[in-house]
Structure 1
């Protein structure tokens, strides 16, 4: 007896989401308004495979979809690349022998379990040494996260001081908040406060500089307008290559 496969209907898109098909794949994009006089539609594919679209307020959803479809092949290729990166990511178990990153370099994790040891993390001779009273991966992870957060505060503060010499439009020293985020490396509040992801300290220094400069540019340009990207390119001409490098590391440093 022949069986017939019946495809389940696609779930309705969330509000503000537009969907289209590229071949057999349904691709959904999250639309937001672009606060700019430029009528162009700006498309971004995030490492977590979200597709973001900024479009002028007056543009209809149909017009936005037509613009997105013209870039459908590029969007599909970006999604394939990010998905391929995710497939090769192995979930960390926080046991000795694993590789962990700090400032762009790989370090081997060494877990020392002893009731007499003071619990903490040390960076020694190419390894990250974590001392715990008993074998407990959750405790090892918590200690590492605290260590990364502490290091991030120091590293980000030093790099902000260096980047401020290039960001001549910034008056005063913006405050920094450290916050773990799943889909952002950083953000800038309307008041000029920078929020940075502590996981970013695992990336090379140049990537840290890129994220800080990106957020400092938002103090001058509060959205991703053409002027924003012109400003970013002025202070970091090769920012696109650095962003690509950082995006390629997402699976290695966010797990």
Structure 2
């Protein structure tokens, strides 16, 4: 059983999860610096507040790191905008067409062919669906690759937009969720998240055993993690 609540500590909102665990686990999560703490079920809210206050310098340092990252403003899907795809920056070119279509040309431009009557919302929906299809193509290659390397079977992979996580999983069901935003990041960052979630099938906690698995299967995982968290973000 997990009890979830939001508590305020000074000017900070903290997601608190009370679980059947023995120790406190504190995380500042990308991409926005959301603060999450998991604590034993019996711990009082006041004890949680005292714990957070003690950790405030560490928390604020990590939040500042996330907030200092470069961010793109919300996309309007018009010519001249910068869009990221697989870690590379492209300029968007809008062309009028009877049917919508997206093509990458000259390793510099994303051509978006759009019917004249399309609203901004329709443009966004089509573009997001294109990103989803491109991410699905990558996953169809990368999941089998890493299943073979790690020696496990993933029963289901889902794609969704997430504000606080690049990926998550259900180890019992062997199900993985991947953040749609990862198709904008370098492919090695996507691989890092895939491996990270797969390793959780073996080990749920981010402990020495978990890190040993990561070192074994993806020796440069810490570099990929830093690269992912330093990469430009887009306001959702």
Q: 1:151 aligns to what?
A: 134
- Pair 1:89–1:121, CA change in 2 (3 A): closer
Q: 1:217 aligns to what?
A: 199
Write the mapping of 1:167-246 to structure 2, written as runs, cut at 5 A. Answer: 167-168=150-151, 170=152, 172-189=153-170, 190-224=172-206, 227-246=209-228
Residue number among 15, 23, 26 corresponding to 1:43 in the alignment: 26
Q: CA deviation at 1:192?
A: 0.6
Q: 1:103 aligns to what?
A: 86
Q: CA deviation at 1:124?
A: 1.4
Q: CA deviation at 1:28?
A: 2.6
- Pair 1:103–1:32, CA change in 2 (3 A): same
Give the Cα separation in 2 of the matches to 1:193 and 1:200.
18
Which structure carries more relative contact order (alpha carbon 8 Å, separation 6+)?
A: 2
CA RMSD, Structure 1 to Structure 2 (Å): 2.5
Give the Cα separation in 2 of the matches to 1:92 and 1:60.
43
Q: CA deviation at 1:174?
A: 3.0
Question: Any stretches of 5+ residues in structure 1 without a counterpart?
Answer: 1-14
Q: Is the partner of 1:85 in helix, strand or coil?
A: coil
Larger Rg: 1
In terms of fraction of residues, the more strand-rich structure is: 2
Q: Is the partner of 2:111 in helix, strand or coil?
A: strand
Residue 21 of structure 2 contacts residue 41 of structure 2 at CA under 8 Å; is this kept in 1?
Answer: no
Q: Is the partner of 1:220 in helix, strand or coil?
A: coil
Q: TM-score of the superposition, structure 2-length normalised?
A: 0.83
Question: Any stretches of 5+ residues in structure 2 without a counterpart?
Answer: none
Q: CA deviation at 1:36?
A: 4.6
Q: Is the partner of 1:219 in helix, strand or coil?
A: coil
- Pair 1:138–1:16, CA change in 2 (3 A): closer
Q: CA deviation at 1:233?
A: 4.1
Q: 1:118 aligns to what?
A: 99
Q: Is the partner of 1:16 in helix, strand or coil?
A: strand
Residue 154 of structure 2 contacts residue 175 of structure 2 at CA under 8 Å; is this kept in 1?
Answer: no
- Pair 1:198–1:70, CA change in 2 (3 A): same
Q: TM-score of the superposition, structure 1-length normalised?
A: 0.78
